[in-house]
Chains A and B, each alone.
Chain A
Amino acid sequence: MTVAAIVPAAGASVRMGRPKLLIEFDGLPLIAKVVAALVEADVAPVIVVAPPPDAPEGPPVAEAARGAGAHVIAPAIRPAAMRDSIELGVRELGRLDPPPDGVLIVPADGVKIEAATVARLVAAWRERPARIAVPTCEGRRGHPPLLPWPLARAILDLPPDVGVNRLLADHADEVDAIPVDDDSVLFDLDTPDDLRALGVRTVRLFAVARERAGRPEVEVSLPCPATVGDLRRALADQHPALATLAASVRIAVDDEYADDAAPLSPDARLALIPPVSGGGR
């Protein structure tokens, strides 16, 4: 029984204030991480509905998804709502012959989604493939739901102003709760606070550091708690272009030079400070 996935990834990240699917975790853009977990769990095809090609984040999101093994659709106009993106994915799957037996609807910001959790969900669904499988953790329902194909197709027939949750509500008696030992199924990445909760920090870059990275700031995933020394190692691992600088230049925490043992509070402002132009007196 084949299981495909639709990853609606065309949103504008309004609450995050920047394209969240390009935020890097362990050196990989979020969208690539999500796709990779699905591919690893033998889900195929993975349809990613990307932002339009003329949106600044469109081409990099599409490229990252494709690189991780997704089949990418990039509509010319940004879908108005997630449900519209999902519809595009359903139509794409409908062109397959045969269509998949089941469809995972995967939020593109399922940051910590793990292949093992997806595999467990799929295995449970295969035992009762006419039903809907929804992962639960600590008694709460999470993402992603797995729908039998006929029900996924029914998304196309929903009234225009309702979302997929309505479908799940309408078919509540067909839902199987699948307990998983993975609280990431409950997590949504919407705001900068959500990011901090994941140990992802932004590091500002200047001068040669900005030039080498090709951008004014980078994300790093850090252990919790973390020190300046941890930040150096994480930068070097996750951003090889900065490896030599990360090992040698000063690091500022909250606008103050900090030594390697200094702890990083969750909301500390971080920056790499290459040697300043001092030099010849």
Chain B
Amino acid sequence: MVEITESPLDHAALTERVRHANAGAVCTFLGTVREMTGERRTVHLDYEAYPEMAAKKLDELEAEARRRWPLIEVALAHRVGKLELGDVSVVVAVSCPHRGDSFEACRWLIDTLKEVVPIWKRERWADGREEWIHPGLEGR
């Protein structure tokens, strides 16, 4: 399942959701709002999605991961809107018969999600400045 929501993500419920009698391994990754980036302090984050495309890309990621690994259940959830320090911004939960596949699939899913799913974050720094985080676009 995939989900884009403004509501807080219930990572425990998502983990529970992928548990299965044939799964010997469940792997859950959480992305959370970090306070310090080097010397800079974050006050909060705003996430914005291109909702239709983001949902489509998440669906495609799930399908591709299922082709590559023997996944039993998959949950991909991303939160949008204003997030406070420590909030969970993204959850990837997978279940597989064995742990090796679950680690690999979970890693591939979060890395690929961060590259192709059109969801952006805007940093609100403690010095009052705000900026969209667009890797590769700095200064252009």
Q: Nearest chain A CB to B20's CB is how many angstroms away?
A: 29
Residues of chain A lying within 8 A (CB to CB) of residue B118: 206, 252, 271, 273, 276
In the complex, how many residues of chain B place their beta carbon closer than 8 angstroms to a beta carbon of chain A? 23
Asked if A211 is at the interface (CB within 8 A of a chain B CB), the reply is yes
Cβ contact within 8 Å between A273 and B111? no
**Contact partner of A208 among B47, B50, B53, B137, CB < 8 A?**
B137
Asked if B120 is at the interface (CB within 8 A of a chain A CB), the reply is yes
A-B interface, 7 closest residue pairs, ranked by CB to CB distance from nearest = A278-B114, A207-B120, A255-B53, A279-B135, A208-B132, A277-B121, A275-B134
Residues of chain B lying within 8 A (CB to CB) of residue A207: 48, 120, 122, 132, 134
Cβ contact within 8 Å between A277 and B114? yes
Residues in chain B within 8 A of chain A (CB atoms): 47-48, 50, 52-53, 56, 111, 114-122, 132-137, 140
Nearest B residue (CB) for A247? B140
Within 8 A of B (CB), among A36-54: none
A-B contacts counted at CB < 8 A amount to 70
Cβ contact within 8 Å between B52 and A255? yes
Cβ contact within 8 Å between B136 and A275? yes
In angstroms, Cα B119 to Cα A279, docked, is 13
Chain B interface SS verdict (over half): mixed
**Contact partner of A277 among B52, B53, B133, B140, CB < 8 A?**
B133
Asked if A274 is at the interface (CB within 8 A of a chain B CB), the reply is yes
In angstroms, Cα B51 to Cα A255, docked, is 10
Residues of chain B lying within 8 A (CB to CB) of residue A255: 50, 52-53, 56
Asked if A265 is at the interface (CB within 8 A of a chain B CB), the reply is no
Q: Nearest chain B CB to A30's CB is how many angstroms away?
A: 27
Within 8 A of B (CB), among A85-129: none
Residues of chain A lying within 8 A (CB to CB) of residue B53: 252, 255-256, 271, 273
In angstroms, Cα B133 to Cα A278, docked, is 9
Q: Nearest chain B CB to A277's CB is how many angstroms away?
A: 4
Residues of chain B lying within 8 A (CB to CB) of residue A269: 52
Cβ contact within 8 Å between A208 and B134? yes
Residues of chain B lying within 8 A (CB to CB) of residue A271: 50, 53, 118
Cβ contact within 8 Å between B50 and A204? yes
Within 8 A of B (CB), among A252-275: 252, 255-257, 269, 271, 273-275
In angstroms, Cα B31 to Cα A216, docked, is 27
Within 8 A of B (CB), among A198-224: 204, 206-208, 211
Asked if A191 is at the interface (CB within 8 A of a chain B CB), the reply is no
Asked if A244 is at the interface (CB within 8 A of a chain B CB), the reply is yes
Asked if A248 is at the interface (CB within 8 A of a chain B CB), the reply is yes
Residues of chain B lying within 8 A (CB to CB) of residue A276: 114-120, 134
Cβ contact within 8 Å between B50 and A274? no
In angstroms, Cα B32 to Cα A82, docked, is 56
Q: Nearest chain B CB to A71's CB is how many angstroms away?
A: 42
Residues of chain A lying within 8 A (CB to CB) of residue B47: 277
Nearest A residue (CB) for B139? A244
**Contact partner of A281 among B50, B111, B120, B133, CB < 8 A?**
B111
Q: Tell whether A244 pairs with B114 under 8 Å between CB atoms, given A271-B50, A274-B120, A275-B135.
A: no
**Contact partner of B132 among A244, A274, A278, CB < 8 A?**
A274
Residues of chain B lying within 8 A (CB to CB) of residue A249: 137
Cβ contact within 8 Å between A277 and B135? yes
Residues of chain B lying within 8 A (CB to CB) of residue A281: 111
Residues of chain B lying within 8 A (CB to CB) of residue A274: 120, 132, 134, 137
Residues of chain B lying within 8 A (CB to CB) of residue A252: 50, 53, 118
Nearest A residue (CB) for B136? A275
**Contact partner of A206 among B48, B115, B116, B135, CB < 8 A?**
B48
Cβ contact within 8 Å between B50 and A279? no
